[in-house]
Structure 1
């Protein structure tokens, strides 16, 4: 992935002002079969994965290449400035789960009689069922904070599904705050922050360290609420 040579993004305009985005535009980014992005809110994780999904031809509010649905334009212009390169013969299908817009996508699918009625299920069940119903799609899977709807067991079920998707030859890009989902086996982990993007290990992720300390001694954190 690199900046599109015919559509350079002005570095003084957002989101090129975000260090992680600037790094991708300036130096490109090689992605393996599975990539996990972690980092604080506002670091640029969602902006990057949404730009990748849209540049690949996936619907900006979630879905597959066959879905064209938009309630309100909220994604950045990044997609138009990215050039994605995949190996010859790579599957061209894809699935995008963008947590904040899945309600609108489910409504669109229901109104157009595409698949099951996901609104009749719980939030987490709908997320998992949506993905499981598309498990046969081979290509690029992009997920932005799917843990927002999932319990512990739901996150485990998602990891199992993603392992199957990877085994089937697809590529996965996952943005998450969940230490559980960040443990996706075999994934390259990139920490996003004011430094841009850097490789990190699961045990060094700030969210992992915070959860370990919190579960060991909740009062160390909760005392600050008083």
Structure 2
């Protein structure tokens, strides 16, 4: 039997999850129900795509928590009391770990950059003050670069927020370096750039639950291409 070297091989539902009420969020979300019913396997790079409200952020937040990362974002060294409370979904998920070289990780949520920086200032991090002199996008890239030495699992929740075209290309380069070093990435995104990182297993979430797709077949990617070719076709219908 081949031994997996992934930090997180899969997640599955714990006993009793099948009795959860479908009237209570987030268990009303089809992608959440699909994960609880069927489990979810991961590749070295797993990319999750879908419309707003399809459950992407709920899923990656729960994955971060079951792996041992703070719900508000950060590394395993950034554990702090959360203003958001706990992840309801995480209570019902059981992680299956592989024989990874590193048990470290990073959960990056673009909307919590300021929260994470403020926390690091409070605990006296030497790097924290420099973040206040940077743009949002610069802070994003510096935080990811700072996590490189620890390896492990990187989980991203729409990290493209605040990143320019070139900034997203730099993030792709960092992700590819992380994968080449034998580590793992789970990424949810709306970015037509980030969803095309080579070698990704792409999962689309929506009303049907969750399904693997070829990135070239994604409707959202076709819309991006059509819009950039002729913006007026879309804008005149607004």
Q: If the TM-score is normalised by the length of the shorter chain, which range does it land in? A: over 0.9
- 1:205 to partner: Cα distance: 1.6
RMSD: 1.6
- 1:94 to partner: Cα distance: 0.5
Q: Helix, strand or coil for the counterpart of 1:224?
A: coil
- 1:119 to partner: Cα distance: 1.9
* 1:151 corresponds to: 164
* 2:221 corresponds to: 208
Q: Helix, strand or coil for the counterpart of 1:162?
A: helix
1:89–1:153 Cα change, 3 Å:
closer
1:41-190 matched pairs, under 5 angstroms: 41-70=52-81, 72-73=83-84, 76-116=87-127, 117=129, 118-190=131-203
Asked if the contact 1:7–1:81 (Cα under 8 Å) also holds between the matched residues in 2, the reply is yes
* 1:15 corresponds to: 26
* 1:39 corresponds to: 50
1:82–1:123 Cα change, 3 Å:
same
CA distance in 2, matches of 1:167, 1:88: 17
Asked if the contact 2:48–2:202 (Cα under 8 Å) also holds between the matched residues in 1, the reply is yes
1:147–1:83 Cα change, 3 Å:
same
- 1:31 to partner: Cα distance: 0.6
CA distance in 2, matches of 1:54, 1:29: 15
CA distance in 2, matches of 1:14, 1:184: 32
Match of 1:196 among 209, 212, 215: 209
Aligned residues: 225
- 1:167 to partner: Cα distance: 1.2
Asked if the contact 1:63–1:97 (Cα under 8 Å) also holds between the matched residues in 2, the reply is yes
- 1:52 to partner: Cα distance: 0.1
Q: Is 154-163 or 104-113 further displaced after alignment?
A: 104-113
1:194–1:75 Cα change, 3 Å:
farther
TM-score (norm 2): 0.89
- 1:159 to partner: Cα distance: 0.4
TM-score (norm 1): 0.94
1:119–1:20 Cα change, 3 Å:
same
Match of 2:230 among 217, 220, 225: 217
Asked if the contact 1:23–1:196 (Cα under 8 Å) also holds between the matched residues in 2, the reply is yes
